[in-house]
Amino acid sequence: MCGIVGYVGMRPALDVVLAGLKRLEYRGYDSAGVAVLADGGLATAKKAGKLLNLEKELAERPLPTGPTAIGHTRWATHGAPTDANAHPHLDNAGRVAVVHNGIIENFARLRAELAARGHESASETDTEVVAHLLAEEFSSCADLAEAMRLVCRRLEGAFTLVAVHADEPDVVVGARRNSPLVVGVGAGEAFLASDVAAFIAHTRSAIELGQDQVVELRRDGITVTDFAGRPADVRGYHIDWDASAAEKGGYDYFMLKEIAEQPKAVADTLLGRVDASGSLTLDEVRISTSELREMDKVVIVACGTAFHAGLIAKYAIEHWTRIPCEVELASEFRYRDPILDPRTLVIAISQSGETMDTLMALRHAREQGSKVLAICNTNGSTIPRESDAVLYTHAGPEVAVASTKAFLTQLVACYLVALYLGQVRGTKWGDEIQAVVRELSRSSQDVERVLDTMEPVRNLARSLADKPTVLFLGRHVGYPVALEGALKLKELAYMHAEGFAAGELKHGPIALIEKDLPVVVVVPSPRGRSVLHDKIVSNIQEIRARGARTIVIAEEGDEAVAPYADHLIRIPATPTLLQPLVATVPLQVFACELATARGNEVDQPRNLAKSVTVE
């Protein structure tokens, strides 16, 4: 969601902040603004629309140069995306500027109280009340950090706040509750941002703020307290990628680059997972093996693409460990009163580690005494920090909103967790685990092979640009792949797309089949699961007989499907459970190319944000 950047140091602060906002454009936004402290005052500029609008405004009406600034890209919640509602927001005297990510749930009551005391609102946002409250508190204590602590104790909801005051020109203050905020530590300078990408060009040393903490940034130091003013323990970490990893590298879109990076991402996620004795290891495990042996149920919570990874994980976990596994949409999880206890292992999957629905599901699980294992791509983020164990994926930065390499590395991580549980519980022998790990290791080469054969898929996608609907069918692990393929098409091409379990065709969806309707079918391997293969070949015959245009994804050497495929996309032969690693890739390319053919913005689809940090 919203991007936040703050800076204090020796560089021209506005340049640093604008560059940081550019790096956060992938998060999704509909307006942008900045505030600079200079010459004893506070100067701001903000515009609805993309950063280009703000840059044009700054070119026509430049702001003064100063060493302290904050900036924001807004994704509208309270109030339409207008100039007036764009951040930063000021108090009536124009001495305080605030940017905000999240939702202040009690803002209406606070705004009414402020109005009764003579404050006038200039926007429709919940954020503006914070600027007025900070001005009131600062007038009493003359300390912006203390004013922030006092205000935060009055706020309800999820928020990240960053503020500056004209009377403290060398200070930036930030606060967080249930919304991400990270500190960048430099030499004689400091940064605040909602994502490390904002300052990675300047420093790779970072501190992730904890829950209900306030940070004060000065050139010569950083102070972190809780909302009550007590000193807080902080844990720094090193960012293991550099600025070049977040650049397009010659590709037209970040998504194309990230699709191409998948073989390396898969290989990197597998690195170091087997120790000298041949046993699997995870990154951080604070759950004993005896506790894992006692688990009698696994529940996976996730959203969107990560949810589809969880659906695939269910097959692997139940097959390799014989533990019942449920997969839940995190947004629904805690509201249905789930049955949890200390013998339930909850697996939370999140690329960013800040997905609010997943975070709240995790907290609910821990309140019920369950242990939580996180699968995440972002070191130092909230979900791994609040979990009992974590397996980090090593996809590197993923800038495009539609997830590609994060999804494949989540699949690898899910397989590793399933094998680890099988190892601990003794349901898989060591040589069996090693054989699967070898197959996983080969998958990075298989993904590379798929990517080398995608030109016909691109041509096919372009030929379907005028179609209103595409359907996707799959069985077993191919069903979640079908769901993921449909989601990618919705996200990028803005088309009606649905994924179905192929066996459900006769129970309703076959009524949708009509002449020339494109239907993508993910075919399981004929080896080992021949009954699944035979049934889906029958499904293909059924829809083709009704005029559908069949687009079939099948492994090399499977000739049984060829007579019924109008378009045949070959993938390397892989074990059934691991097939999603290669079967998903053509669907990513298909969606990206179709969106391009329709003239859509591939990296930043309309109405979407990369990280959803509000419920």
Return the axis-axis angle of helices 405-425 and 580-597, rounded to nearest 10°. Answer: 160
Number of Cβ atoms within 10 Å of the Cβ of 59: 8
Is the link from the previous residue into 88 a cis peptide, with omega within 30 of 0? Answer: yes
Nearest to 133 by CA among 102, 170, 163: 163
Query: What would you report as the CA-atom Rg of the chain, rounded to the nearest whole angstrom?
Result: 25
Identify the residue whose tokens are 């890209």.
Answer: 73
d(CA 2, CA 538): 48
- Listing DSSP states for 260-310 in one string gives HTHHHHHHHHHTT-B-TTS-B--SEE-S-HHHHHH--EEEEEE-HHHHHHH
Catalytic (active site) residue 141: no
Give catalytic status of residue 610 as yes or no.
Answer: yes
Q: Which of 46, 488, 490, 610 is catalytic?
A: 610
| Spatial separation of the C-alpha atoms in residues 514 and 470, rounded to whole Å | 11
Strands (E), 530-587: 549-555, 567-571
CA-CA-CA-CA torsion sign (68, 72, 78, 81):
positive
**Dihedral sign, Cα of residue 525, residue 527, residue 528, residue 534:** positive
Name the catalytic one among 2, 152, 303, 592.
Answer: 2
Q: Is 144 helix (H, G, I), strand (E, B) or coil?
A: helix
The DSSP bridge partners found for residue 349 are 375
Q: Which residue has the tokens 């098409």?
A: 489
Angstrom CA distances, 8 to 15, 37, 226, 310, stand at 12, 10, 21, 42
Q: Give the pair of three-digit tokens for residue 557.
A: 């050497």
Residues annotated as part of the active site = 2, 610
